[in-house]
Structure 1
Amino acid sequence: MYQVVARKFLKRIPAVAVAASILALAIPGVAKADDVEPLWTNVKKAGVLRCGAAVAPPYVIRDPMSGNYSGFFADLCRDFGQNVLKVKVQFVDTTWDNIVAGLQANKWDLSIALNNTPERAKAISFSTAASNYEVSFVYNKTNAKVGKKLVSLADIDKPGAVVAVMSGTSQDKAVSAVLKQAQIMRLPGIDETRLAVTSRRADFIADASDTNWIFSESHADWAKTFVPNPALAKQEVAFGIRKNTSPDDIAILDGYLKKKVASGAVNALIKKAVQETLASSK
């Protein structure tokens, strides 16, 4: 009798195991071990950390002559790769429209200086923040279409006003949500947005406050900055990582960033990047 019961019980085990496996796959957040990417192990095997980079000073700066990257987020990516992972670092050119899709497609390992937004968080994961972000507006103080004093976004959101913004960025999404009457001029890069205001094809540039502050300082004879209050689209700025990256790997990157922020190293890199950007614009 015991042997018969035992045989019946053993026959049921595979079915129970299969059912448990199906249930695990159906529960959100429960992933198979094979689905987790050992990112840093793969990077070390390849011998190179690939950093996806779209230009946005002082976060990411690219020398147009040499193609070399700097800026405080680029410096962090370089330092992490060389001194933590002990590998070479390669910067991969991209645009803000493609910076998430390229990461998902494994064209690079980290996306640099990415705003942690709910929309992006559906597609990728994020490291802890290295800095914070909010949107400001730069305009020509001699522009007759702009009032003498800007008090609120309503002073910008008027028929006939043109706001230049980099397509696909967080600032693009932010101004698209709040500006209903002004025309939004979406352009591929930061140089194009600045040229649009300089040439007066656009009345405002909507960009990260740090980036706009640098541009305004380098054109102090005509440029003024308006920072909305309350802050528009205040967000954390971090590294973008693929969704299936091992939690242990994310913890290594987070630990590195927390130490850099706490030690003041990030602030020092920001000051360096601001000075570099201002010097290059003279």
Structure 2
Amino acid sequence: MKKLILTTAVLALTAGVSFADTIRMGTEGAYPPYNFINDNGEVDGFERDVGDELCARAELTCEWVTTDWDSIIPNLQSGNYDLIIAGMSITEERREVLAFTQNYIPPTASAYIGLSDDIDVSTAVISAQTGTIQAAHVAQSGATLLEFANPDESVAAVRNGESDAVFADKDFLVPIQAESNGQFSFIGDDVPLGDGIGIGLRKSDTELKAKLDTAIGSMKDDGSLNVLIKKWFGEDAITY
């Protein structure tokens, strides 16, 4: 799950969502299995399933909007959509400019993968997606940080020798490592970061936040959220 680090303060809009209108759900569409664009050109993945179910339970009419990760918060504040559901971990820094629902994925781990499992990640060149909490972690670790605009580029940097390892959400890296035919290995221990994934909203949208919190809570209570977590992340995934 992606963990955006805010580098500039963004002022929230004061106008709230009108529930007579369609709720526009902003996502990246480039971070499987959380969200991606399928062969039909539609948003797909874990968050598509969760988002559609939340809208049904909250009795909201919703539509999906995609945007680049590095502009996902400014576009929310500019009114281009009404919420962010994009693998965004809840952090104290982000709470300064956003309101968050309760999490819909528990806190999970980040991890390193590289072409060898004996790389010293504290001194190596590490690639990470720009604007993420993983990138901030690397920058503070003593390693050399190499940032890329999207997660696939950060993985490609290891393959082409630009970096020694990539640091990202483990859920994102597991299928990449598994499908690499032994090219990639996990390095060292998992690194816990963030407080779980939540939906980000403008602070003014208190009514929408309350509706979504109630819907998320109901999915936790009846077990349907755990079903979707296991569907997309496997039977061994961390659940509620």
Same fold judged by TM-score > 0.5?
yes
Cross-structure match for 1:126: 100
Q: Is the contact made by 1:135 and 1:227 (CA closer than 8 Å) also made in structure 2? A: no
Q: Is the contact made by 1:197 and 1:204 (CA closer than 8 Å) also made in structure 2? A: yes
Cross-structure match for 1:21: none
1:85 paired residue among 59, 67, 74:
59
Q: Secondary structure of 1:45's match?
A: coil
1:172 paired residue among 108, 130, 135:
135
Q: What does residue range 202-221 of structure 1 map to in structure 2 within 5 Å?
A: 202-221=163-182
Q: Secondary structure of 2:204's match?
A: coil
Cross-structure match for 1:101: 74
Give the Å deviation of 1:224. 1.6
Which has the bigger relative contact order, CA under 8 A and spacing at least 6? 2
Q: Could you say which structure has the higher helix fraction?
A: 1
Matched AA of 1:239: I
Whether 1:199 aligns to 2:172 is no
**Segment of structure 1 superposing worse, 92-101 or 114-123:** 92-101
Give the Å deviation of 1:227. 5.5
Structure 2 CA distance for partners of 1:223 and 1:174, relative to 1, 3 Å: same
Q: Is the contact made by 1:193 and 1:205 (CA closer than 8 Å) also made in structure 2? A: yes
Q: Secondary structure of 2:70's match?
A: coil
Matched AA of 2:27: A
Q: Is the contact made by 2:75 and 2:81 (CA closer than 8 Å) also made in structure 1? A: yes
**Percentage of matched positions with identical amino acids:** 22
**In structure 2, how many angstroms separate the alpha carbons of the residues matched to 1:49 and 1:79?**
14
Structure 2 CA distance for partners of 1:83 and 1:233, relative to 1, 3 Å: closer
Q: Is the contact made by 1:134 and 1:235 (CA closer than 8 Å) also made in structure 2? A: no
Whether 1:136 aligns to 2:97 is no
Structure 2 CA distance for partners of 1:225 and 1:86, relative to 1, 3 Å: same
Identify unmatched segments of 5+ residues in structure 2: 1-13, 235-240
Cross-structure match for 1:110: 83
**In structure 2, how many angstroms separate the alpha carbons of the residues matched to 1:170 and 1:90?**
28
With structure 1 as the length reference, what TM-score do the two structures score? Answer: 0.70
**In structure 2, how many angstroms separate the alpha carbons of the residues matched to 1:269 and 1:171?**
25
**In structure 2, how many angstroms separate the alpha carbons of the residues matched to 1:93 and 1:241?**
16
Give the Å deviation of 1:81. 2.5
Q: How many residues align?
A: 218
Whether 1:250 aligns to 2:209 is yes
**Segment of structure 1 superposing worse, 94-103 or 264-273:** 264-273
Q: Is the contact made by 2:25 and 2:63 (CA closer than 8 Å) also made in structure 1? A: yes
Structure 2 CA distance for partners of 1:110 and 1:192, relative to 1, 3 Å: same
Matched AA of 2:64: F
Identify unmatched segments of 5+ residues in structure 1: 1-34, 276-282
Q: Is the contact made by 2:98 and 2:201 (CA closer than 8 Å) also made in structure 1? A: yes
Q: Deviations over 1:161-196 (max 9, x none)?
A: 22111111222222222x22x221111112211221
Structure 2 CA distance for partners of 1:53 and 1:167, relative to 1, 3 Å: same
1:51 paired residue among 25, 42, 52:
25
Q: Is the contact made by 1:134 and 1:233 (CA closer than 8 Å) also made in structure 2? A: yes
**In structure 2, how many angstroms separate the alpha carbons of the residues matched to 1:262 and 1:136?**
30
Matched AA of 2:216: L
Q: Secondary structure of 1:228's match?
A: strand
**In structure 2, how many angstroms separate the alpha carbons of the residues matched to 1:185 and 1:269?**
34
**In structure 2, how many angstroms separate the alpha carbons of the residues matched to 1:233 and 1:174?**
9
